[in-house]
């Protein structure tokens, strides 16, 4: 999906923080719980990653990953199941899209076909479907040889 129309005015009611190396254990735990796509301990180094904490728990996060000429990918947008429905993902996506637009780039992202909730959210934020692509995740298997 590609953001053809930036979302406009955002609410700054939520405290959104920049995530860094010290947040990696919590980021990996949240990604393992929610499965937003491939996320490893070094992924946060690809670009700006933002999060929302509630009572010390990383409740939601999202960030930037791949850059192409004119575009920047949103990645690892996820919310802990105990904190869904509070607008956390919306706020993070809006902040990331604003940061990408400030660089003169267009935000894009990948979303699984069956994730209708995320697709609806992204559509309300100005994202439109560009193409349907197969997703293949490869993992290195350690050889016993």
What mean pLDDT is predicted for residues 10-34? 91
For 38, half-sphere exposure in the C-beta direction (CA atoms, 13 angstrom radius) is: 11
- Tokens found for residue 49: 């990653």
Q: Do residues 34 and 80 make contact, with C-beta atoms less than 8 angstroms apart?
A: yes
The tokens for 6 are 């930036």
Q: What is the mean pLDDT of residues 3-22?
A: 82
Residue 8 pLDDT greater than 70, yes or no: no
pLDDT tens-digit profile of 90-118? 999 999 999 999 999 999 998 888 888 88
| Tokens encoding 44 | 């946060």
What pLDDT, in 10s, does the model give residues 41-57?
999 999 999 999 999 99
pLDDT at 65: 93
Which candidate, 104, 45, 94, 43, places its Cα nearest to that of 72?
104
Domains of the chain and CATH, by start: 2-128 (3.40.630.30)
């Amino acid at each position: 999906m590609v953001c053809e129309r930036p979302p406009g005015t955002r609410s700054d009611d939520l405290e959104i923080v920049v995530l860094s190396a010290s947040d990696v254990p919590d980021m990996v735990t949240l990604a393992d719980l929610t499965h937003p796509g491939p996320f490893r301990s070094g992924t946060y180094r690809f670009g700006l990653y933002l999060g929302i904490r509630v009572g010390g728990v990383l409740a939601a996060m999202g960030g930037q990953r791949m850059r192409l000429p004119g575009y920047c990918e949103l990645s690892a947008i996820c919310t802990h199941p105990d904190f869904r429905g509070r607008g956390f993902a919306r706020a993070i996506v809006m902040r990331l899209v604003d940061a990408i637009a400030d660089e003169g780039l267009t935000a894009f992202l990948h979303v699984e076909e069956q994730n209708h909730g995320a697709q609806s959210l992204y559509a309300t934020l100005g994202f439109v479907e560009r193409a349907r692509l197969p997703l293949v995740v490869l993992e290195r298997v350690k050889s016993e040889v």
